Amino acid sequence: MDRIPILRMGKFLLVTIQIDLYDRLATNLESDLVNMVNKTGARGVLIDISALSIVDSFMGRILGNIGTMSKIMDAEAVVVGMQPAVAITLIELGLELKGVHTALNVEKGMELLHEKISFDEDTLDEADYENNSE
C-alpha cells in the first residue's frame, strides 16, 4: 500500500507531499503522523505542500486535524510552501486552516518550530526554577 514517507530529523518530523493525494492516502498520513509523534516524542511536525496544486476542503481538514492532534500531543505543526493560488482558493472556499502554523518555505518553517519550542522550554525552565526556589 502506498504511503507518504515521514522523515525524522532530531526533534522534528518532516513530510513532503509530492503527489496529489487521494483520500485514503491522506487519512493514512494523518494516522501515521500521529503515531510517529507518539513513538518518537517529536516536538514539531513540518509538512511541505509546495508541490500540491489543489487543496480542497477534505485535504484542508486533514491538515487542520494534524495541527490540532499534534497540539494535544504537545507538538507543533507547521504547513510550509503553500502556492499563492491555493491560498486564495482556500480563502474563497471559506477555510482558514485555524490551528496550523504556516511558513513560507522549509527553512522558515524550521526557524518557526525552533522558536516555538525554545519558547516552551524557556517557560518550562522558569517554572522549574520557581519550583526549586520554594
Report yes or no: 71 and 43 within 8 Å, Cβ to Cβ.
no
Measured from the CB atom, the residue of 115 and 121 that comes closer to other proteins is 115
Q: What order of strands is seen across the sheet that includes strand 12-16?
A: 6-9, 12-16, 44-48, 76-80, 101-103
Cell 513540518 sits at which residue?
A: 46
Which spans of this chain sit near other proteins (rule: CB under 8 A)?
Answer: 20-24, 53-58, 60-61, 79-80, 82-97, 101-105, 108-109, 112
**Residue 92 CB, nearest distance to other proteins (Å)?**
5
Measured from the CB atom, the residue of 44 and 60 that comes closer to other proteins is 60
Beta-bridged to residue 77, according to DSSP, are 45
**Residue 61 CB, nearest distance to other proteins (Å)?**
6
Sign of the CA dihedral running 77, 83, 84, 87: negative
Measured from the CB atom, the residue of 40 and 117 that comes closer to other proteins is 117
**Residue 23 CB, nearest distance to other proteins (Å)?**
5
